[in-house]
Structure 1
Amino acid sequence: MEHAGPITPAVAVPVRETQAHDAIDRSYHAALGSLTGGLSPMGLATAWFDWAAHLAGSPAKQAELHERAVANAAKAVQAAVSCPLHPASESCDAMAADKRFRDKEWQRAPYNLLAQWFLLTEDWWDAATRGVQGMAPRHAQIVNFATRQTLDMLAPSNYAATNPVVLDRTREEHGANLLRGLRNWMEDFARDAEGAPPETGGFKVGETLATTPGEVVYRNRLIELIRYRPTTESVQAEPLLIVPAWIMKYYILDLSAHNSMVRFLLDQGIEVYMISWLNPGEEDADLGLEDYVRLGIFDALEVIERAVPGQKIHAAGYCLGGTLLSIAAAAMARDGDARLASLTLLAAQVDFTEAGEITLFIDDSQVAFLEDIMAEQGYLKPDQMAGAFQMLRSNDLIWSRTIREYLLGERGSMNDLMAWNADATRMPARMHAEYLRKLFLENRLALGQYSVGGRPISLEDIEVPVFAVGTERDHVAPWRSAWKITRFADGENTFVLTSGGHNAGIVSEPGHPRRHFRAGPVPGHATDPDLWIKAHAVRDGSWWPEWTEWLERHSSERRHVEAAPLPSLCAAPGRYVFG
């Protein structure tokens, strides 16, 4: 056979065309993301296909589900008959335990039957999306979660025609509640469409929120550093730097006068400095995680060092601010920088292997999708991040509000924490992509593979005392994940487990009713948090005094209050907080 000569490769696509095609994909994904709340439909479709294919090939599982369906139908019929006669029966108790059906109106027929059918349908789908042999475990979790979200949306409590509480109210008010609900919906829709700031119920930054007196003593491209005016004649020698998360406004720690952590610390004789992050725009898309370490934490430490030369500095980080502070502390330990006196981590994670259900929204498909969205915008919008967190508690954050405001026509009363939560921030594209990939997906920080300044850092180099706080009902940073810093840091570790969720558990001032906590040292590199729980009894009240006592034990002495040799650029709360 005659040799035909060298095989001609397929025509190479010029780089310019490839980039143009990438731009098309990015634009398409950005447009799609505006409809899906920033969630990747491709990742969800992959998980559903995995479930459907493996369920189709599992006849035993299908038979089990058929039997369960028949049994659940029998239970529903039995409950419809027995509940009116025996309201304390097991099936009726199960209905009453679900807060969606807790009102006495749900005990009437046919609404009790509707509620029973719904709960048993939830039970069947939960069984259908668990234990399907051969499925990828992550896909199984995603399908189970997505199914729960779909059923939560379809709950009979969410619709006027099937909610007896709404029907009774409508009869009593001759439909006035629905008219008020329509007006509430139209107001919310108009506010969203116009991009207007969210309703804060009269709470205003600098007037009713973030009012603790202080001055901005430093400003760069990324932060303002606030020094608060001491309220005592003497203070602990070591000042405290607080690093809030970059995804939130700092004043969650300086809300109203009665629940301001900053004000409480000042009254205990602690000099407090606070970082206030810039709310980034498109021009800040190039800011990366290392910029946040360098321009945020390292610059702040240098400024404080000028104010109190020769003194070490306590540092506390909240949520992602704690993660960032851990990175900075490990880098300082690697380089022999001994300026830190202690490290406090509030609901913060350094190991993301057990980061809770939020990890269901973080995989390669989702991150690639978000990267395309951010490449178009230069940042991630607040609502594109908030959707995932709301779905973690959809009954509390979405559907109960829908029923109250749009069906019953009742506007919920605003409090300071809700007003803060509505004051959302953006995240620059590069930084958020690095955070999702390097920390969440690849877990480089925990594995000792994360680099600062071109060299790897290790959490095990941290030898300063660590005070870590987790909250019992944290859906953002589960407390067992927050515990994990005690496995890495090589110094004295103390852990606190407090009641409440990610925000309310931290903003837990003395005098707050129904608060409790556990606190105590953690033996060197202990691995079982449940054993620690058994060894530490519940104590009533706020954990804040426990922390200030710990800070005092790890401080050297007290010093007289003197005016810090720093310029006052403007009064607190500064300018960046209004961005």
Structure 2
Amino acid sequence: MSTNALGINMSPQIKREAKRWNQLYKIMTEPKPDIVPTPRECVWKRNKTTLWFHPAKEKRYETPIFLVYSLLNKVYILDVGEGSSVVGGLTELGYDVYLLDWGSPGLEDRELTLDNYIVDYLENAVKRALRHSRANDITMAGYCLGGTTAAIITSITKLPIKNLVLAAVPIDFSIGIVPDKWLEGIQKGQLSFDRFAEAHETLPSEFLYLMFRMLSPIYGSPKINLFTRAHDEKYVEKWRRMDKWTKDTASFAGAAFKQLFNDFYKDNKLLKGELLIGGRKVELKNIKCPLFVFSCSRDNLILEQQSLPVMELVSSEDKTYKVFEGGHVSLALTGAFAGIMDPWLSAHSKEILKVQHN
């Protein structure tokens, strides 16, 4: 049994409890943690959108990875710090990584549509990544709504996309975590966000934070876990990063928000093959490259049933679907996304041949 600074004997249980409350006090009183990105350089920029290049620590593969995340959240969830970064994990494994950061639109961006984001920003960023890397082709990897946009661009572009990886991706928008009455109202045209979006022009980040907080338990249940695991310093550090990210929501262009709810949630045009982006019809059957899709067993944001239809809609002969243990946010926050992708990706990426010296 040890003693504290006052010479009072402390049992292991008391020490653990004291540490727990000290950690909780620090969380409540200290500023949010800094997020230090994996070494990177900006290689392209348009308006608020930035394309980051993260070079492999020791390059093993000629095929770079292009990561796409949701327009609704900040992209740094994919690069939250050493030891739990998706980007860092991939660079450690020998992949060059390009990460698209959509940025956060201002009032001047209110007329931006999904067409603008997917064609003007995403497609042009992929072109820039291909030129910068001097690679013959590239792997597209999309997470959450970033997977939806990755699938869309792969189906309409002529760019050389070698592989497509989709994680926790919504394809069927007729189901989801939205309350049934809301979803039914949206689908029947009884509930519309058009006037709300037009009034705000660009939806403020505070609204999106409240919307996610109402719809998903990931914005509440982690606090319960924190109280029980506050003695664990590694867990607390990860919790602080997640807490910062959940409260650091991006704003959203009004025109794109209207399009998202009308074309996807109301009319489910992507699933039906009726979606038009940049004047091009989005038909997932145009996807013929190798495809890897996976869901998480405890995902409270994107249900497995929303992802599964893509397997039947694409024309890819080489396609794999798997379910992994975990939740939606933990997939990124723990860096597990990188480890899940690697076995499949390494088999579908051109490995650099090393010259043997005698």
What TM-score do you get using the length of structure 1 for normalisation?
Answer: 0.51
Q: Which residue identity lines up with residue 322 of structure 2 in the other structure?
A: V
Give the 5 Å matches for 1:167-182: none
Cα RMSD after superposing both structures: 2.8
* 2:258 match: secondary structure: helix
Q: Which residue identity lines up with residue 343 of structure 1 in the other structure?
A: L
1:215 paired residue number: 41
* 1:235 match: secondary structure: coil
Whole-angstrom distance in 1 between the partners of 2:207 and 2:322: 32
* 2:94 match: secondary structure: coil
Give the 5 Å matches for 1:44-123: none
Do residues 476 (structure 1) and 301 (structure 2) align?
yes
Do residues 453 (structure 1) and 282 (structure 2) align?
no
Q: Which residue identity lines up with residue 347 of structure 2 in the other structure?
A: R
Are the counterparts in 1 of residues 77 and 245 from structure 2 also a CA contact under 8 Å? yes
Whole-angstrom distance in 1 between the partners of 2:312 and 2:180: 21
Identity %, equivalent residues: 23
How far does residue 426 in structure 1 lie from its aligned partner after superposition? 0.7
* 1:558 match: secondary structure: coil
* 1:415 match: secondary structure: helix
How far does residue 398 in structure 1 lie from its aligned partner after superposition? 5.0
2:31 paired residue number: 202
1:384 paired residue number: 207
Q: Which residue identity lines up with residue 210 of structure 2 in the other structure?
A: G
1:176 paired residue number: none
Do residues 319 (structure 1) and 144 (structure 2) align?
yes
Do residues 430 (structure 1) and 255 (structure 2) align?
yes
CA distance 1:326–1:399, change in 2 (3 Å): closer
Q: Which residue identity lines up with residue 503 of structure 1 in the other structure?
A: V
Do residues 372 (structure 1) and 195 (structure 2) align?
yes
Number of residue equivalences: 315
1:349 paired residue number: 170
Whole-angstrom distance in 2 between the partners of 1:320 and 1:293: 12
How far does residue 216 in structure 1 lie from its aligned partner after superposition? 0.7
Choose between structure 1 and 2 for higher RCO, CA contacts under 8 A separated by at least 6 residues.
Answer: 2
Whole-angstrom distance in 1 between the partners of 2:291 and 2:47: 30
Q: Which residue identity lines up with residue 269 of structure 2 in the other structure?
A: R
Are the counterparts in 1 of residues 63 and 135 from structure 2 also a CA contact under 8 Å? no
1:556 paired residue number: 350
How far does residue 250 in structure 1 lie from its aligned partner after superposition? 0.9
How far does residue 251 in structure 1 lie from its aligned partner after superposition? 0.9
How far does residue 389 in structure 1 lie from its aligned partner after superposition? 2.9
Are the counterparts in 1 of residues 177 and 215 from structure 2 also a CA contact under 8 Å? no
Instruction: Pick the aligned partner of 2:153 from 322, 328, 337.
Output: 328
Whole-angstrom distance in 1 between the partners of 2:254 and 2:213: 22
2:327 paired residue number: 501
CA distance 1:490–1:418, change in 2 (3 Å): same
More helix by share: 1
Whole-angstrom distance in 2 between the partners of 1:302 and 1:341: 14
Are the counterparts in 2 of residues 344 and 468 from structure 1 also a CA contact under 8 Å? yes
Do residues 441 (structure 1) and 270 (structure 2) align?
no
CA distance 1:499–1:385, change in 2 (3 Å): same
How far does residue 308 in structure 1 lie from its aligned partner after superposition? 3.0
Q: Note the alpha carbon deviations across 1:325-383, whole angstroms, 9 max, x for none.
A: 11111112xxxx1510111111111221232335643413432xx22222122112233
Are the counterparts in 2 of residues 320 and 348 from structure 1 also a CA contact under 8 Å? yes
How far does residue 472 in structure 1 lie from its aligned partner after superposition? 1.6
Q: Note the alpha carbon deviations across 1:261-307, whole angstroms, 9 max, x for none.
A: 11110011100000111201111000000101113221111111212
Identify unmatched segments of 5+ residues in structure 2. 1-24, 228-234
CA distance 1:230–1:400, change in 2 (3 Å): closer
Whole-angstrom distance in 1 between the partners of 2:29 and 2:182: 29
Whole-angstrom distance in 2 between the partners of 1:230 and 1:359: 45
Do residues 297 (structure 1) and 122 (structure 2) align?
yes
Q: Note the alpha carbon deviations across 1:441-490, whole angstroms, 9 max, x for none.
A: 10111111111232322101101111112112222211221222112111
2:17 paired residue number: none
Whole-angstrom distance in 1 between the partners of 2:29 and 2:320: 37
Q: Note the alpha carbon deviations across 1:48-93, whole angstroms, 9 max, x for none.
A: xxxxxxxxxxxxxxxxxxxxxxxxxxxxxxxxxxxxxxxxxxxxxx
Q: Which residue identity lines up with residue 553 of structure 1 in the other structure?
A: A
Whole-angstrom distance in 2 between the partners of 1:338 and 1:214: 24
What TM-score do you get using the length of structure 2 for normalisation?
Answer: 0.80
Are the counterparts in 1 of residues 127 and 159 from structure 2 also a CA contact under 8 Å? no
How far does residue 397 in structure 1 lie from its aligned partner after superposition? 4.2
Instruction: Pick the aligned partner of 2:74 from 249, 257, 264.
Output: 249
Q: Which residue identity lines up with residue 31 of structure 2 in the other structure?
A: G
Q: Note the alpha carbon deviations across 1:112-143, whole angstroms, 9 max, x for none.
A: xxxxxxxxxxxxxxxxxxxxxxxxxxxxxxxx
Q: Note the alpha carbon deviations across 1:416-454, whole angstroms, 9 max, x for none.
A: 112111111111000010011001110111111111232
Whole-angstrom distance in 2 between the partners of 1:360 and 1:294: 34
Are the counterparts in 1 of residues 64 and 135 from structure 2 also a CA contact under 8 Å? no
Are the counterparts in 1 of residues 87 and 338 from structure 2 also a CA contact under 8 Å? no
How far does residue 247 in structure 1 lie from its aligned partner after superposition? 1.0
Do residues 361 (structure 1) and 178 (structure 2) align?
no
* 2:67 match: secondary structure: strand
Are the counterparts in 1 of residues 168 and 302 from structure 2 also a CA contact under 8 Å? yes
Whole-angstrom distance in 2 between the partners of 1:505 and 1:348: 13
* 2:350 match: secondary structure: coil
Whole-angstrom distance in 1 between the partners of 2:222 and 2:154: 42
Instruction: Pick the aligned partner of 2:133 from 286, 300, 308.
Output: 308
How far does residue 559 in structure 1 lie from its aligned partner after superposition? 6.5
CA distance 1:231–1:384, change in 2 (3 Å): same
* 2:60 match: secondary structure: strand
